[in-house]
């Protein structure tokens, strides 16, 4: 029975005690998730802010255009070395990782795919120092301390990332897209290359960027292979080569304030390069993502 002065229609529209509890619980859970999301991104923003604060006083054009032995020391050879070794590692492992991920997702028997996924998971969990020791014991005796050995060590770490991300994004492609292509009489291999891979291309590029970002930031493998140098080695992979993580490691342990400041500045440059790569890929693929 409705309250005096309230029509039956209005009484039916008024929320009951159960509805109020549900609304209150929903509001509480939304606040909890918002706090959790804020706490998840807070360390990232704190890290970026702190590094930027420490690096800004030491940033200058000379830092990016000079080498360590110039009158005004810089990190040009480290930036060039990092980009060269990372580019070579991705150039080699990128096609191999993409092809491997496509095979495991589209063509491999179930048992082979399960074994492949297990191997990839193990490789993803390998610490970078282990990859460095492997390169030091296996590749350095053959290639010497050089950019070739450094790129190979980075390739060991980037290959499983590319394979895993390719495999996962291929699974996100709706089966109806494959079925529509096959129904038109398109062979399976052409459907995979021209339809499935093309649809998953934004995710594949994202995996390449993730692998590139990790390669840019690795220190231990390069310390045991490329070793670092004060000279600028442009495309000279046969000798020791400098890299930004090596500069950060060496300068951070220095006693003078200038070297420590340059370590912070190098860290900021490294972060900016990784951020630009992510922004560029997302901007180029924003209109072609898998729904």
- What six digits make up the tokens of 236? 């000279």
Find all residues with CB under 8 Å of 268, minimum gap 6, and list them.
Answer: 51, 52, 55, 56, 59
Cβ count within 10 A of residue 55: 21
26-44 per-position pLDDT tens digit: 889 999 999 999 999 999 8
Please give the domain boundaries of the chain with CATH numbers for all domains.
Answer: 73-285 (1.10.3720.10)
Cβ count within 10 A of residue 256: 9
Q: What pTM was estimated for this model as a whole? A: 0.82
- Of 48, 19, 78, 63, the closest CA to residue 244 belongs to 78
172-205 per-position pLDDT tens digit: 888 888 888 888 888 888 888 888 888 888 889 8
Q: For position 228, what pLDDT does the model report?
A: 84
49-90 per-position pLDDT tens digit: 999 999 998 888 888 888 888 888 889 999 999 999 999 999
- Of 83, 244, 232, the closest CA to residue 151 belongs to 83
Q: Is residue 12 very low, low, confident or very high in pLDDT (cuts 50, 70, 90)?
A: low
User: Stretch 19-26: mean pLDDT, rounded?
Assistant: 83
Q: Say which residue, 276 or 20, is predicted with more confidence.
A: 276
Query: Is the separation of the CB atoms in 239 and 147 below 8 Å?
Result: yes
User: Stretch 252-277: mean pLDDT, rounded?
Assistant: 89
Burial of 144 from C-beta contacts in 10 A (0-12 / 13-18 / 19+)? middle
**CA–CA distance, 178 with 81 (Å, rounded to integer):** 42
Q: Is residue 285 very low, low, confident or very high in pLDDT (cuts 50, 70, 90)?
A: low
- Of 268, 252, 263, 231, the closest CA to residue 80 belongs to 231
Lowest-pLDDT choice from 9-23, 121-135, 144-158, 198-212: 9-23
């Amino acid at each position: 029975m409705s309250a005096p002065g309230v029509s039956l229609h209005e009484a039916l529209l008024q929320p009951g005690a159960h509805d109020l509890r549900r609304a209150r619980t929903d509001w509480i859970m939304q606040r909890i998730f918002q706090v959790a999301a804020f706490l998840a991104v807070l360390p990232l923003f704190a890290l970026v802010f702190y590094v930027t604060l420490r690096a800004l006083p030491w940033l200058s054009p000379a830092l990016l255009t000079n080498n360590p032995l110039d009158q005004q020391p810089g990190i040009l050879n480290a930036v060039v070395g990092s980009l060269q070794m990372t580019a070579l590692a991705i150039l080699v492992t990128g096609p191999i990782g993409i092809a491997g991920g496509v095979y495991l997702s589209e063509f491999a028997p179930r048992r082979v795919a399960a074994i492949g996924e297990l191997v990839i998971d193990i490789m993803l969990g390998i610490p970078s120092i282990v990859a460095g020791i492997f390169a030091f014991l296996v590749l350095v005796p053959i290639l010497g301390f050089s950019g070739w050995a450094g790129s190979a060590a980075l390739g060991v770490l980037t290959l499983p990332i590319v394979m895993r991300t390719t495999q996962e994004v291929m699974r996100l492609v709706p089966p109806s897209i494959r079925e529509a292509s096959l129904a038109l009489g398109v062979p399976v291999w052409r459907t995979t290359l021209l339809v499935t891979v093309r649809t998953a291309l934004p995710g594949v590029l994202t995996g390449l960027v993730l692998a590139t970002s990790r390669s840019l930031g690795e220190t231990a493998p390069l310390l045991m292979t490329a070793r670092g140098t004060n000279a600028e080695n442009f495309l000279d992979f046969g000798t020791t080569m400098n890299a930004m993580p090596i500069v950060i490691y060496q300068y951070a342990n220095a006693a003078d304030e200038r070297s420590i400041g340059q370590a912070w500045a190098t860290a900021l440059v490294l972060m900016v390069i990784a951020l630009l790569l992510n922004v560029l890929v997302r901007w180029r693929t924003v209109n072609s993502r898998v729904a």
